[in-house]
A = this chain, B = another copy of it.
Amino acid sequence: MMNSGSDESRLGEFELIAEIFAPLAKAPLAFGLTDDAAIATPPLGQDLVVTTDAVVEGVHFFADDPPDLIAKKALRVNLSDLAAKGCAPTGYLLVLSLPKRINPTWLRSFAEGLKEDQQEFGISLLGGDTTATPGPLTIVITAFGHIATGAMLRRSGAEAGHGVYITGTVGDAGGGLVRLKGNGGALLPEEDQYLIHRFRVPEPRARLGPHLVGLASASLDVSDGLLADLGHIARTSGVRIEVEAATLPLSPALKLLWPNEVERAIRATTAGDDYEIAFTAPPGRWPDIMQVAAASGTTVSAIGRVIGGTGVALLDSKGHQMQVGRPGYVHF
């Protein structure tokens, strides 16, 4: 892997890439990237969980974003999936489609971002592929995680009467994107940077995720927007989900960016790229949830309830359904 399958004139470049990435492949069964495949067998009694996500220049990040942060985003959107499924991450495969402008300096910074996150999350590069592309930089990561056999958290277990919860704060990444596009009013530089950083570098809730096993009845990470993703749980579980706008956890910076409460609630719940864990849990589990949240240093907020029916609703302070339009995410 990490071989080119490509363009002779760039052979030297692809050898350089192998050199840059080989130190990231420390797992013995990654074979230092000198083979065509890697081994990802889980320990006895554990399931191997796999997830894959692409990030594309001009769609998920900007061409001039810092390379180390692009690397972290590409990796973290996958680690976020694993965390929401209750899994501990173990390793990943990396596929790079590189436009001609990418140079060794850029690649070294990109690899440095991966290295930092490998240390933070305790994972290793297992292998991958590199190819030239006449189009935008495209990064596809496949991440692997372990969990006790059969314990993977699903989208399908929510039942009427269960509570609805979210980690961290919602809407920040959407706010950051607005700032990167030069929109919105005046903010302090640190508020600006906070929102932009939330867009560029998601925070996978890897410390909390595995502790939700046995507590959460359904779980996923918020990538398309809170309401859209809760819609996935509602549809897969065959239930209706109501979110109370007044209970949404919002950062101070986001409150300043969008002073109007109604607009803010709608924007925060329809913006994507939060990469927080949204989950449901049976009543009576709240104390346990608070305990594992505190133990893992993760904020968790109760934001609504599961009821009979279909779909997702955002409720105002009087309990009336707010008109949110389409609960999807508009990328650039």
* Residues of A289-306 whose CB lies within 8 A of B: none
- In the complex, A213 has a CB within 8 A of chain B: no
Docked-complex contact B53 and A129, CB < 8 angstroms: yes
Q: Chain B residues near A330 (CB, 8 Å)?
A: 7-9
A65 to chain B, nearest CB (A): 16
Q: Chain B residues near A97 (CB, 8 Å)?
A: 54, 56, 138
Residue of B nearest to A39 (CB): B47
* Residues of A28-45 whose CB lies within 8 A of B: 31, 34-42, 44
A158 to chain B, nearest CB (A): 13
- In the complex, A178 has a CB within 8 A of chain B: no
Docked-complex contact A50 and B36, CB < 8 angstroms: no
- Residue-wise, chain A 164-199 has the 8 Å CB interface mask toward B (1 for contact) of 000000000000000000000000000000000000
Main secondary structure of the interface of A (DSSP, over half): mixed
- In the complex, A66 has a CB within 8 A of chain B: no
Docked-complex contact B129 and A37, CB < 8 angstroms: no
Docked-complex contact A11 and B142, CB < 8 angstroms: no
* Residues of A65-100 whose CB lies within 8 A of B: 77, 81-82, 84-85, 87, 93, 95, 97
Docked-complex contact B156 and A34, CB < 8 angstroms: yes
Q: Chain B residues near A144 (CB, 8 Å)?
A: 50
- Stretch with Cβ within 8 A of B (4 or more), from A104-112, A115-123, A219-227, A248-256: A219-227
Number of copies: 2
| Bound Cα distance from A128 to B141, whole angstroms | 11
Q: Knowing A52-B93, A52-B95, A223-B3 are in contact, say whether A82-B8 is a contact too (CB < 8 A).
A: no
* Residues of A1-24 whose CB lies within 8 A of B: 1, 3-9, 11
Docked-complex contact A40 and B34, CB < 8 angstroms: no
Docked-complex contact B133 and A56, CB < 8 angstroms: yes
- In the complex, A311 has a CB within 8 A of chain B: no
A269 to chain B, nearest CB (A): 14
| Bound Cα distance from A63 to B134, whole angstroms | 13
| Bound Cα distance from A160 to B55, whole angstroms | 45
Docked-complex contact A37 and B224, CB < 8 angstroms: no
- Residue-wise, chain A 220-245 has the 8 Å CB interface mask toward B (1 for contact) of 11011000000010001000000000
Partner of A95, one of B140, B220, B272: B140
Q: Chain B residues near A224 (CB, 8 Å)?
A: 3-5
- Stretch with Cβ within 8 A of B (4 or more), from A147-155, A259-267, A280-288, A312-320: A147-155
| Bound Cα distance from A1 to B8, whole angstroms | 35
Q: 14 A-B contacts, Cβ less than 8 Å apart? A: A1-B51, A5-B329, A6-B331, A7-B330, A11-B326, A34-B156, A35-B236, A37-B81, A38-B51, A50-B126, A51-B127, A56-B133, A56-B134, A138-B138
Known: A51-B127, A97-B138. 12 other contacts (CB 8 A): A7-B59, A8-B328, A35-B155, A36-B85, A38-B50, A41-B46, A50-B127, A54-B95, A54-B129, A56-B97, A56-B131, A56-B132
Which residues of A line the B interface, CB within 8 A?
A: 1, 3-9, 11, 31, 34-42, 44, 46-56, 58-60, 77, 81-82, 84-85, 87, 93, 95, 97, 126-129, 131-136, 138, 140, 142, 144-145, 149, 152, 154-156, 220-221, 223-224, 232, 236, 272, 326, 328-331
